[in-house]
Homo-oligomer: A and B are copies of this chain.
Amino acid sequence: MPIVRRAGFLNHLAQMTILDKIGPISQPLPLERPLQPVRVAVLAFEGVSLFHLSVPGIVFGVTPAPTGLPPHEVRYCAPTPGKVRCDQGVEIEVPGGLEAMTSADLVIVPAWNHPEAAAPAVLTEALKQAHARGAQVVGLCLGAFVLGDAGLLDERRATTHWACRDLFVQRFPKVNFLPDVLYVDDGNVVTSAGTVAAIDCCLNLIRQRHGADVANRVARLLVTPPHRQGGQAQYIEQPVPVLPSESRLPGVLEWARENLSQPLSLDVLAEVAHMSRRTFTRRFREA
């Protein structure tokens, strides 16, 4: 079995961990044909989340040995290859265009910056074709909007970041929207909930292809749960109950929580509330 060596600390650790702690276990299975790598195309675009660009690489890029599994080839592509500026300002060099999607087994769309407007046709067409060809198409977080624009989610189950759920339901009424899950797979179309759920989603893709044992090992190397209980619902920000509009108490209490290191006298709190000390005291008792 040729050992696929990749750069990066995680593969270094993967080799160390298995060989040092578990020792060589099994001979690889004699294979009828050589292992074809799983080709993963990750979409980049202006303002793309550096985090979502990194997640497929860190989950698919590490192959815990000995597995005899095909390696993953993670490639980045963009509608216009070359320099692409990410959300945190750093520029990355994207070598390939959307043609990378035509040969990918897995196409990954990071959180989309403009969920209010339809994604460009060049992008939705490439996704439709990849899906029609049998590729698994994944929308991480707001990337689900691009899959929705491509019509890939109609009559299917899908999710997205909780903060955009109203917009999602409004823009894609034919989708069976699941607000609470961390990810959902329906007909080779996979969508994940907000931000960090991208890790759960990619671990699940590993689990689908290679089984729970491999996914669990990757999760342990990443120091993250192989499966999170409870879905996205537990992370949704609950609206703070709003008191009558003339009351500023919620704002004051919030401010106080943020400034616990300062001396919080009644006078200071009343001033933040734009009230007299007496009014503030009465309102505070009422609340």
Contacts and interface: CB of A to CB of B under 8 A. Distances in A.
A162 B29 CA distance: 30
Identical copies of this chain, number: 2
Interface stretch (A126-134, A147-155, A171-179, A230-238): A230-238
Interface in A238-273: 239-240, 242, 248, 250-252, 254-255, 257-260, 272
A118 interface: no
A124 interface: no
Contacts of A66: 251
A258 B193 CA distance: 27
Interface stretch (A43-51, A98-106, A278-286): A43-51
Contacts of A6: 87
A123 interface: no
A76 B93 CA distance: 16
A58 B53 contact: no
A194 B213 contact: no
Interface in A23-70: 23, 25-27, 29, 47, 49-51, 53-55, 57-58, 61, 66-69
Interface residues of A, number: 91
Contacts of A252: 26
Contact of A54 (B88, B111, B248, B257): B88
**Most-contacted residue by chain B among A13, A61, A219, A232 (CB, 10 A):** A13
A169 interface: no
A113 B8 contact: yes
Contacts of A29: 255, 259, 272
Interface of A: 6-10, 12-13, 16-17, 21-23, 25-27, 29, 47, 49-51, 53-55, 57-58, 61, 66-69, 74, 76, 83, 85, 87-94, 111-113, 115, 141-142, 161-164, 182, 193-197, 199, 210-214, 217, 219-225, 232, 235-237, 239-240, 242, 248, 250-252, 254-255, 257-260, 272, 274
Given A7-B87, A13-B164, A16-B164, 8 more contacts: A22-B239, A25-B240, A26-B255, A26-B272, A54-B88, A57-B87, A90-B92, A90-B93
Q: Which A-B residue pairs are the 9 nearest by beta carbons?
A: A26-B251, A8-B87, A57-B88, A194-B223, A25-B251, A50-B54, A196-B224, A91-B93, A51-B54
